[in-house]
Amino acid sequence: MPSAKSPPSRIVIATRESALALWQARHIEGRLGALYPGVETQLLGVTTQGDRMLDISLAKIGGKGLFVKELESALESGEADVAVHSMKDVPMNLPPGFTIAAITKREDPRDAFVSNDYRDLESLPPGSRVGTSSLRRESQLRARFPLLKVEPLRGNVQTRLRKLDDGRYAAIILAAAGLKRLGLSARIACLLTPEQSLPAVGQGALGIECRAERMDLVAAIAPLDDAPTRWCVEAERAVSRALSGSCQVPLGGYAELTNGRARLRGFVASPDGVRMVYDEIAGSAAGSPADFGTALAERLIAKGAREILAALDG
């Protein structure tokens, strides 16, 4: 258990420099300030490799871990004390010596359909161009709407919206959480239900990472942890970990808790949506979320998930 030490007198928070990442870091900075009014906080902006390489899909350059590595380097060097991440960007296995000290209460985990001309996916004419950065979204779109043209879309939220407004796409799919955090809810034409687009593992949740040896920080950050969100995110991450999930794998995982009961849904697909396996489990949330997630992964494997993954590796 974390020691009951006093928090450090100063906490430097490493963050990416996009508007959304800065909002997230400032949100955590504000919460720490409310907990510890005497503690000085400072943001350290870091431009990650994932932010620099916008002309190539994430799946081809190493996945979403590229948004995390430089922030972890700042923690390792002592330039920063903590780093704030979107949990959907955090690799399933942390490097030795690092820990996610808190996962804060989840924002809306759903995907958002954004269009200036159409109200939902069903109203898009055949051949419409739909932009997304995610193989997970792409595979589900292609499975449900094979006549749409799903095309890559990289960049921060504002860049993606600008590309939509410039007429390059009939619609784009973004995380609802990011739009809501940036005060852009009015841009959402409709929210996609988990049945329409199963969310990414950890989507909508923020994680605060630090060096595991910094027990003063682990203890100071612990009050920001939201136990139900952590349970859900850990169950989702266990599914992905068991399936070796990454940005190169079209995979979704979404857990919900209701009155002590858990429901966990997951899928693995080929990028074209032709091959897809889906399953879900439900039960008591009293047990280990990792065991819950692993149980779902085993069901997906029994349905052929390994064969889909092997084809992607080949």
CB 75 within 8 A of CB 98: yes
Structure tokens at 154: 């990289």
Q: Which of 89, 108, 216, 279 is catalytic?
A: 89
Q: What whole-number distance in Å separates Cα of residue 159 and Cα of residue 79?
A: 29
Q: What whole-number distance in Å separates Cα of residue 192 and Cα of residue 298?
A: 27
Which residues pair with residue 15 across a beta bridge?
45
Is residue 89 part of the annotated active site? The answer reads yes
Three-class HEC string of the chain = CCCCCCCCCEEEEEEECCHHHHHHHHHHHHHHHHHCCCCEEEEEEECCHHHHCCCCCHHHHCCHHHHCHHHHHHHHHCCCCEEEEEHHHCCCCCCCCEEEEEECCCCCCCEEEECCCCCCHHHCCCCCEEEECCHHHHHHHHHHCCCCEEEECCCCHHHHHHHHHCCCCCEEEEEHHHHHHCCCHHHCCEEECCCCCCCCCCCCCEEEEEECCCHHHHHHHHHHCCHHHHHHHHHHHHHHHHCCCCCCCCEEEEEEEECCEEEEEEEEECCCCCCEEEEEEEEECCCCHHHHHHHHHHHHHHCCHHHHHHHHHC
Structure tokens at 302: 């029994």
Answer left, alpha or beta for residue 139, where phi above 0 means left and psi between -120 and 50 means alpha: alpha
Question: Hey, which residues are catalytic here?
Answer: 89
